[in-house]
Amino acid sequence: MANLTDTSTTVPTEAAPTGLRIDGFVVLVALIGLALLGTLIWLETAPFLVGLFFLGGLLGIALYHGAFGFTAGWRNLIVKKQGAGMRAQLILIGLASLLMIPVLGSGQPGMIGAIAPVGLSLVVGSFLFGLGMQLGGGCGSGTLFTVGAGNLRMTVTLIFFIIGSLLGTFHLPWWLDRPGTDPVNLISELGVSGALVLQGIALLLIYLWVRRVEFKSHAKVDSAELQIRPTEKGWLATLLTGRWPFFWAVLVLAFGNLLTLLLSGSPWSITFAFGLWGAKIAQALGMDMSVYEFWTWDFPAQALRDSVLVNVTSVMNFGLLLGAMLAAGLANNFNATGANPPLLKPFLAAVIGGLMMGYGARLGFGCNVGAFFSGIASASLHGWIWFASAFVGSIIGVKLRPKFGLPD
Partner 1 sequence: MYRRHRVIFVLLGILLLILVDHLQSPTFAFNSGQGHAPTSLIQLDTGACAPCGAPCPSARD
Chain residues binding partner 1 by CB under 8 A are: 25-26, 29, 33, 36-37, 40, 44-46, 49, 110, 112, 114-117, 119, 150, 172, 176-177, 180-183, 264-266, 269, 272, 275, 280, 294, 297-300, 302-303, 305-312, 318, 334-335, 338-339, 362, 365-366, 370, 374
The CB-of-134 to partner 1 minimum distance in angstroms stands at 24
In angstroms, the CA 220 to CA 216 distance is 8
Question: In sequence order, what are the beta bridge partners of 380?
Answer: 185
> Smallest distance, Å, CB 172 to partner 1?
7
Q: Which is nearer to partner 1, 229 or 298 (CB)?
A: 298
Please report which helix (H) or strand (E) contains residue 180, including its range.
strand 180-181
CB 372 within 8 Å of CB 144 = no
Closest CB to partner 1 among residues 13, 337: 337
Q: How far, CA to CA in Å, does 310 sit from each of 75, 109, 202, 304?
A: 36, 20, 37, 11
Beta bridge partners of 180: 119
Q: Least Å distance between CB 271 and partner 1?
A: 9
Closest CA to 151 of 386, 336, 384: 336
Helix, strand, coil % over all residues of the chain, rounded to 5: 70, 0, 25
| Beta carbon nearer to partner 1, 37 or 63 | 37
Of 70 and 294, which has the nearer Cβ to partner 1? Answer: 294
Q: Which is nearer to partner 1, 2 or 273 (CB)?
A: 273
User: If you write DSSP's letter for every residue of 32-77 in order, what string do you get?
Assistant: HHHHHHHHHHHHHS-HHHHHHHHHHHHHHHHHHHTT--HHHHHHHH
CB of residue 76 to partner 1, shortest distance in Å: 29
Q: Which is nearer to partner 1, 86 or 377 (CB)?
A: 377
Nearer CB in complex with partner 1: 115/385: 115
Cβ-based nearer residue to partner 1, 134 or 313: 313
d(CA 73, CA 305): 38
What is the rounded distance in angstroms from the CA atom of residue 353 to the CA atom of residue 139?
9
For every residue of 94-152, DSSP letters joined together read HHHHHHHHHHHHTT-TT---S---EEHHHHHHHHHHHHHHHHHTS-HHHHHHHHHTT-H
Biggest alpha carbon distance in the chain? 60
183 dihedral zone (left: phi>0; alpha: psi -120 to 50; beta) = beta
Task: Measure the CA–CA gap between 227 and 224, rounded to whole angstroms.
Answer: 5
CB of 284 to partner 1, least distance (A): 8
Give least dist CB 302 to partner 1, A.
4
> Smallest distance from the beta carbon of 325 to partner 1, in angstroms?
9
Nearer to partner 1, 182 or 408 (CB): 182
CB of 211 to partner 1, least distance (A): 32
Helices (H) and strands (E) in the chain, counts: 16, 2
Closest distance between partner 1 and the C-beta of residue 151, in Å?
11
Smallest gap from residue 296 Cβ to partner 1 (A) = 10
Question: For residues 181 and 228, which CB has a smaller minimum distance to partner 1 in the complex?
Answer: 181
- For residue 177, the minimal CB distance to partner 1 (Å) is 6
Instruction: Decide if 86 contacts 203 (C-beta within 8 A).
Output: no
Cis amide prior to 243 (ω within 30 degrees)? yes
Complex with partner 1: residue 172 or 327, whichever CB lies closer: 172
SS (H, E, C) 337-384: CCCCCCCHHHHHHHHHHHHHHHHHHHHCCCCHHHHHHHHHHCCEHHHH
